[in-house]
């Protein structure tokens, strides 16, 4: 999968999980930048991404995701 395919799908997931239709994703975006993105909602996000892209993350992967850019790279690597 290409980044251009991943980004819109990811954006849709973010919009649903964080209840915010005006969200725009950038590579540098982190949890600090989005309201409601904390350790409680993070796992919900991860779970949604897994089911949406039909992939499975490893626990080790979580630590590698410092921002949205990392996230996209990680999703890419699963294909």
Partner 1 sequence: MAFTSLNFLIFFPLTALFYWLTPVKYRWATLLFASYFFYLNTKPVFALLLAGVTLTTYILTRIIDQTKLESKKRSILVLTVVSILLPLLFFKYFTVINNGILDLLEFYHLRWPLPEIKFLLPVGISFYTFMAIGYTLDVYNEEIEAEKNIGLLGLFISFFPLILSGPIERAKNMIPQFKAQKGVDYGMITQGLKLILWGYFMKLVVADRLGIYVDAVYNNISQHNGISLLLASIYYPFQIYADLGGYSLIAIGTAKILGFDVMQNFKRPFFATSMAEFWRRWHISLISWLTDYVYTPLSFYFRKYKIWGIVTALMITFLISGIWHGAALTFIIWGLMQGIFLSIEALTNKRKTLFEKKYNLSNKGWYILLGIILTFVLFTASQVFGRAANLKEAFQVYTRIFTDTHHLPYKDGQTMLYSAIGLAIIFITEFRDEFFPRRFLLFENKKLFIRWLSYYTVIFLILYLGVFGNEKFIYFQY
Q: What residue ranges bind partner 1 (CB under 8 A)?
A: 19, 36, 38-41, 43-44, 46-47, 50, 57, 59-60, 62-63
| Conformation bin of residue 27: beta by default, left when phi > 0, alpha when psi is -120 to 50 | alpha
Question: Beta-carbon neighbour count of residue 30 at 10 Å?
Answer: 13
Q: From the CB of 55, what's the least distance to partner 1, in Å? A: 13
Q: From the CB of 28, what's the least distance to partner 1, in Å? A: 22
Phi first, then psi: give them for residue 17, nearest 5 degrees: -65, -40
Q: From the CB of 63, what's the least distance to partner 1, in Å? A: 6
How many whole angstroms separate alpha carbon 47 and alpha carbon 57?
9
Nearest to partner 1 of 4, 32 (CB atom)? 32
Nearest to partner 1 of 40, 54 (CB atom)? 40
């Amino acid at each position: 999968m290409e980044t251009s395919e991943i980004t819109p799908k990811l954006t849709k997931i973010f919009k649903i999980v964080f209840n915010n239709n005006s969200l725009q994703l950038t590579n540098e975006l982190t949890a600090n930048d989005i309201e409601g993105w904390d350790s409680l909602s993070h796992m919900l996000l991860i779970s949604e991404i897994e089911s949406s892209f039909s992939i499975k993350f490893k626990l080790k992967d979580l630590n590698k995701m410092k921002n949205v850019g990392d996230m996209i790279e990680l999703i890419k690597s699963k294909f």
